[in-house]
Structure 1
Amino acid sequence: MAQQAFAIRYVAGYRSWAGAPYNCRYHAVAGMPIFRYRAFSADGRSETGSVEFSNESLAFASLTGQGLTVVELTEGPVSVGTPAARRGRHQKKIPLSAQADLAEQMALMLGSGMTLPQATRLLGEGAENQQIRRSFDRINRLVADGTDFPKALEGEAQAFSPLFVPLVEVSYASRNPVVILNSLSTFLRRQDNLRSEVGAALVYPAILLVGAAFMVIFLAIYLAPNLAPMFSSMGQEVPALIAAMVRFGELLAGYWFVFALLTGVLVGTLFLIWPRVSSRLRRFAFRMPKVGTVMATLSLARLSRTSALLLGSGLPLAVALRRTAELMPREPAGDSFTKAAQQLEGGGTASDIFVADSRLPQSFKEMFRYGETTNTLPLVLASVAASFESRAERQMQSLTRLIVPLVTLVVGGAVAAIVYLVMGAVLSVNDLGTL
């Protein structure tokens, strides 16, 4: 009965939601006061968020029961954009591989007859990942205090992949949760593999850049200062390159703390403004040749895969498309998914919106129209996602084969030029000494 009641509220929430923030539907259903809090966990981490209880005493008791030391608790509405809007906003992301293992273990437990709250409790007690253990411990405490399981799970959403919590919530009300959770596990593993491939492709260029930086520092601090006096002793002007490197070495040696401070300030500033910077870098990357092609392919693969998983979990097409756009807000084609959902709600067909979008490849448009016409979109979109993921992998391999020799050539050429100029100066000193 609890799962059936949740299913009714879940669908009703989507129908009345119409673009409202993801967690607002529970507030509308519960109708209880919202208490914002600031607290410290047992290991000293600061946490902010919000809870719903009938009075302040129950809210305080629930938070302290979770092992939190509450330093501030106030009643009032919470804006989704604020740090207190979602509990765990500052939580570190759980690795995708650990999330995939978690989804797979949940599927196994549910397949053996356990309920999702029971599986969550057991996984929280036996999890090797400390963050998973803390998150599930908080979920279990909230459930023990009477909070609905989906609502308790949503409080930890920031620690997981955007698709993890929605699909676990859907599986809670589904008749076939094992299939949904196994699909989620497969999706997360595929995402983790793609990230690993990108990271591996960048390792060699990064090593080259670090090695070049250390070589320049070595020349500036050790070699150049030993060469400069040789020119002065012979009454010759020190070459401009060696003089510049000597000056740079002196600055490093005499003001290293200033460089360290500036580096710390730069890193801290970058951390604070990273959301805006990353968005601009992402938009710039989409416009770059080769790189933009790979990113566009991966973006459409993610959108297709997410839509396929949501549709496969039993959500209506309009709801699945709208939710896909909201779970993937940074994807360029996400706005077309929102428009397609609006088109369906207005009595039209979603494929008309995608056909009119010039950013989408023709193969996606044709496959989506076919799936919508034959009512086989979950299978069609899963096939489309697999196709685009394979294409992106091939494109990344091609890009890697281009980037690695290019970076090697540029970095090696720069280092060779510096060494050539320095050695030229050394040889000129030897020529002077033989005169």
Structure 2
Amino acid sequence: MPMYQYRGRSREGNEKTGKIKANTEREAREALKRKGIAIFELNHLDSLLYKEITLFQRIKSKELVVFLRQFSTLLKAGISLVNSIQLLAEQSTNKLLKQTLLEVEEEIREGVSFSEAAEKHRKVFPPLFTNMVKAGEAGGNMDEVLERLADYYEKQHRTKQKVISAISYPTVVGIVSIGVVIFLLSVVVPTFAGMFTSFGADLPPLTAFVLSAGNFMQRFFWLFFLINGLVAGGIWYAKQNKKYKYYLDYALIKLPIFGPVLQKAAIARMSRTWSSLFETSVPVLQATSIVEKVVGNEVLAKVIRDARKSLERGESIASPMEEHWFFPPLVTQMVVVGEKTGSLDQMLGKIADFYEAEVDEATERLKTMLEPILIVVLAAVVGVIVAAIAIPMFEIFDTIG
């Protein structure tokens, strides 16, 4: 919570100085007034010592959806915009959202529109939100716009979670499998190597290979962590650079198993965003620019940039899509129909519904299919290592016998 330093006079006429915590300057003044202090000077302490750390705080999708639904309900109930924001700020448990809403409320009281005030807080309110709110202010249907935004973010969150779930399961199992193999090769296998050497028996090729692998792993296990660190660093760097992000996104889309799921999820996100913006009467060029920024896939973003250029020339939005491999014929045909009939928002909504359902089915199939495959692969690898150790042991026991 921000800190303010004040200088004033008490009811008894004594000069008072000190510090007070308050969300806004107005709140600080009201608190001091209740204490009977007439303020001469009030300054916001902007030093890092007095700032509340919000660097790693963020608004979760669920929190944003709840906020939007409550906001819409309050407006529909006839509560004013300022009072609605004040109520939501008071009950918010997220410090970043609470502080932002109080600042927005103060700006609105000073005569700034809600969309303009929200636009200054991009960490909480993305461009999609502010542009749709701006359209809602112009059309006088703010409550409906907020309800649509809640539906939009809810569907986006659900689709995103499905994709994350489908990818995270095999990733976790894969990491555990690699960890088990490394442990066996670097800890368990070397303990048997000395025993086999002391007997001087000829080792089967499989055992010799596994022992060599164990010896290598024991000496160079750090390579595994180094390679993983380099890969993670490379991916992070590629995401920061638009040029390299294009190639990273291209490679992900072309993956044999996960690629089609990521492609469908990207099309669903694009269609849902476009549809939501068109439904709230956001200008088509502005809506296209917003979609380009929020779609999250640079390959798709490039096609949307081409679509925007096509619109600027007075041509069809579907032309660049028809020429690109990213879009299946179903998408381009429905966009063409939407443009010809003037129902592009409805067509894009239907595309989003279709591909969101496709993502749901695809992720369920992936989890069902990958689980037994990963278990069989892990069992096979562990089985080979165990067999490589067991076979020469049986031969040694026969020799001793």
TM range (shorter): 0.7 to 0.9
Aligned CA distance change for structure 1 residues 92 and 167 (closer, same or farther; 3 Å): farther
Identify the residue that residue 211 of structure 1 maps to in structure 2: 176
Deviation at 1:309, TM superposition (A): 0.7
Letter aligned with residue 189 of structure 1 = E
Identify the residue that residue 197 of structure 1 maps to in structure 2: 162
Aligned CA distance change for structure 1 residues 183 and 411 (closer, same or farther; 3 Å): same
What are the Cα deviations for residues 353-393 of structure 1, in whole angstroms up to 9, with x where unaligned? 54455543333233223322332222222122112222232
CA distance in 1, matches of 2:279, 2:152: 13
CA distance in 2, matches of 1:343, 1:220: 58
**1:287 counterpart = 2:254:** yes
* Contact 2:54 2:96 (C-alpha < 8 Å) held by counterparts: no
Identify the residue that residue 27 of structure 2 maps to in structure 1: none
Deviation at 1:313, TM superposition (A): 0.9
DSSP 3-state at the match of 2:133: helix
Alignment partner for residue 424 of structure 1, among 383, 391, 395?
Answer: 391
Aligned CA distance change for structure 1 residues 415 and 371 (closer, same or farther; 3 Å): same
**1:168 counterpart = 2:133:** yes
CA distance in 1, matches of 2:120, 2:147: 23
Aligned CA distance change for structure 1 residues 343 and 215 (closer, same or farther; 3 Å): closer
Letter aligned with residue 292 of structure 2 = A
What are the Cα deviations for residues 51-101 of structure 1, in whole angstroms up to 9, with x where unaligned? xxxxxxxxxx99x74x64269xxxxxxxxxxxxxxxx99655422222221
Identify the residue that residue 136 of structure 1 maps to in structure 2: 101
Letter aligned with residue 350 of structure 1 = I
Alignment partner for residue 365 of structure 2, among 398, 411, 418?
Answer: 398
* Contact 1:109 1:119 (C-alpha < 8 Å) held by counterparts: yes
Deviates more, 1:368-377 or 1:378-387: 368-377
Identify the residue that residue 384 of structure 1 maps to in structure 2: 351
**1:245 counterpart = 2:210:** no
Identify the residue that residue 304 of structure 1 maps to in structure 2: 271
Identify the residue that residue 47 of structure 2 maps to in structure 1: 69
* Contact 2:292 2:304 (C-alpha < 8 Å) held by counterparts: yes
Deviation at 1:106, TM superposition (A): 1.5
Q: Structure 1: which 5+ residue stretches go unaligned? A: 1-41, 43-60, 72-87
The percentage of aligned residue pairs carrying the same residue is 22
CA distance in 1, matches of 2:298, 2:212: 50
Identify the residue that residue 313 of structure 1 maps to in structure 2: 280
Aligned CA distance change for structure 1 residues 112 and 308 (closer, same or farther; 3 Å): same
CA distance in 2, matches of 1:143, 1:315: 22
**1:112 counterpart = 2:90:** no
CA distance in 2, matches of 1:348, 1:99: 37
CA distance in 1, matches of 2:219, 2:314: 73
Alignment partner for residue 151 of structure 2, among 180, 183, 186?
Answer: 186
Identify the residue that residue 28 of structure 1 maps to in structure 2: none
DSSP 3-state at the match of 1:288: coil
Residues 46-85 of structure 1: pairs in structure 2 closer than 5 A: 65=44, 68-69=46-47
CA distance in 2, matches of 1:192, 1:427: 56
Residues 365-384 of structure 1: pairs in structure 2 closer than 5 A: 365-384=332-351
Give the alignment's Cα RMSD to 1 decimal.
3.8
Letter aligned with residue 107 of structure 1 = S
* Contact 2:189 2:214 (C-alpha < 8 Å) held by counterparts: yes
Aligned CA distance change for structure 1 residues 244 and 315 (closer, same or farther; 3 Å): closer
Q: For this pair of structures, how many residues does the alignment match?
A: 353
* Contact 2:181 2:381 (C-alpha < 8 Å) held by counterparts: no
Deviation at 1:237, TM superposition (A): 7.2
What are the Cα deviations for residues 141-186 of structure 1, in whole angstroms up to 9, with x where unaligned? 5556776543332233234566334333433443112222111111
Deviation at 1:230, TM superposition (A): 1.9
* Contact 2:185 2:218 (C-alpha < 8 Å) held by counterparts: yes
Letter aligned with residue 133 of structure 1 = K
Aligned CA distance change for structure 1 residues 295 and 204 (closer, same or farther; 3 Å): closer
The TM-score normalised by the length of structure 2 is 0.72
CA distance in 2, matches of 1:431, 1:162: 76
CA distance in 2, matches of 1:389, 1:346: 32
Letter aligned with residue 326 of structure 1 = K
* Contact 2:267 2:352 (C-alpha < 8 Å) held by counterparts: yes
Letter aligned with residue 214 of structure 2 = M
**1:98 counterpart = 2:76:** no
Q: Which has the higher contact order (CA 8 A, sep 6+)?
A: 2
Residues 201-280 of structure 1: pairs in structure 2 closer than 5 A: 201-220=166-185, 222-236=187-201, 239-242=208-211, 244-246=213-215, 248-249=217-218, 271=236, 274-276=239-241, 279-280=246-247
